[in-house]
Structure 1
Amino acid sequence: MTRASAVGRYRDVVTEENSTSGAYVDPGKEFVRDSRYIETRITADGRDGYPVEPGRYRLIVARACPWANRAIIVRRLLGLEDVLSMGLCGPTHDERSWTFDLDPGGDDPVLQIPRLQDAYFARDPGYPRGITVPAIVDVPTGQVVTNNYPQITLDLSTEWTAYHRDGAPDLYPERLRGEIDEVAELVFRDVNNGVYRCGFAGSQDAYDRAYDRLFARLDWLGERLATRRYLVGDTITEADVRLFTTLARFDAVYHGHFKCNRSKLDEMDVLWAYARDLFQTPGFGDTVDFTQIKRHYYVVHTDINPTRIVPKGPDLTGWLTPHGREALGGRPFGDGTPPPPPKPAEVVPADHGAAPGSPA
């Protein structure tokens, strides 16, 4: 991959990208996300050549990335830890790739590679776009199968059902899929991607438009959630997972770093209570690493934060305060049960989460 292709892609898919050059803002232009992913799917029938098989694949993520955080949450809620292993990249990267610098020796212990790009190039030596997370790698060949993050979580819910834990929730119930898809698309357009359209706007007009759309949608979500515990139906669904990972990063990163500063999350009463409700639900807050989140955004985005100084705040203790959302009813896991505690190797360090008295 050339430096130019890496930088060009970085402007489109910011948090997953592979450049420390600071080329995140295209002056005078509106941020446009490149959504061209590797669309190969892992399915129960193996129609794309990759059947669901326990132990065959490895999910590569970075806790800093909101798109990867979705896959971490869904994998944990469904209890797929023993059939789909997980590799963790560090929160920062160079212009070539996410790296496995958290692992002893700097190599992923299963794939035996130092950089995620090695798995992309194993499949396509001329791969022209960004080296993104999440990605699922076929362990026997060392090749990336897919990095299509919206489809990855849906497939974990619908194609991997033979390996779901007892009591796994239905995150994508068939009768609600139309509404889930509709809500998730609005959330993606104006919130998940909207914060990036603010932070990486290349002009005042582009920023103003993105800012207005973001907060109009957050207001809409607050109204929707004022009388219902979850976004669709009375249980947690894929739509909630997709909104949560942006809300979890809002005060720590997006409010200041991306100039999304009309209101902090903890000043938006309904959304703040909703986010705390999910955060305190097993499988959500216990996947969030605020230290890695802040380190990624403030260190990697050098044209926005050229000093690379990482702020000490905000105070995280509010995440653990009562939220009162039980009064709205709802059943978090439907007829299912909460997931067990995370495996020891996958526990977020206590001082990286919302332990009492800890800063972000």
Structure 2
Amino acid sequence: MTSLVQPHLVPLRAVRVSGATHRERGRARGTLLGEAVLRTSQAYAALFGRLGIAEADQTEAAAASLEATRAWAPETHDELQGVAEGAGVDLLDVARTVARTEILTLAQLPVPGECSTVAHVPGAGERAGGAVSAQTWDWYASFVRCWHLHRVDPVGDEVAHAGFAEHGMTGKIGLNAAGVGVHLNILQHRDDEPGGVPVHVVLARLLTGARSVQDGLEIIRSAGTTSSSVITLTGTDSVAMAELSPGRVTVLQDEGWMLHTNHFLGLDEPVRDPASTTFDRFGHLQRATASAVAPASADDLLPLVCVPPGPGSVAVLPDPAAPEHEQRATLATVRIDPGARTVRMSPGIPQHADEVCLTYQL
């Protein structure tokens, strides 16, 4: 018997974050989230331990990524310090969550990656609207209460943004007021290692600073990342999928449908988890989009990801037969329409997206 709650039944937590400086804005976030920041960090510490990562190695990797952040984005480092101060925790507790993707490169056991992203860029003769995108965010079901929705007011010449983040992070998946949206799917490469600029710091910088897809690509290329992910940048009329791996950024751009799950499309790099469902999910999205008409809005992408839950599905529900700490689930479904300046988020699988939905208008 499992004590886990279905993700779509968990109440949404939403905050508005502002401050005159990055430190003050971080402090405001930490104060609003309170004990949830430490609880999320402790959940990651426990996960890392189950994956064979010693506590000392977790701490060393988190500290190294903090230093990489200080060098690349000192204002973000200041903001993370503020988060720690506001939540009353050590900065390394915040860093453990923010650098979770980088710390996971030390795992001695397979790390799941089950996010699926679909985007559409109108071609000649298609609807007058612009590009739209959607994503399922899949992770361990035990993290169902470890994230929040947020609207973030700018500091200085930054751009306002909205979306969601895990408790302690300053950004993850969302859209900014300039009409640039970001999605994230984890990848794995044989050269991955800890200590680089956290991909979640890169996401935060994209949301506060990118005013176009091209701006976003320049920000990504400037970051010294050491883990692998694909960041999908959705603009008003274009989409770029930037595959990050140590020492390189491979950019995929096209018209029509663009899809990504958890294997490289631009590099010949094998999938490292033998149990990964990435090819099953990618195959479904290919079949679903082959006969789909151009979407009139981001909500039109929902039917493409509303696959009956089960092995290899885009929509993931916790498996009650699995040990609780191994259960995985779709924690959130996100739709982004940069032209309309809207990001819509729902807890759980896309089948429940109309039951509970929060829309931010930027």
TM-score, normalized by length of structure 2? 0.29
Higher normalized helix content (fraction of residues): 1
Higher normalized strand content (fraction of residues): 2
TM-score, normalized by length of structure 1? 0.29
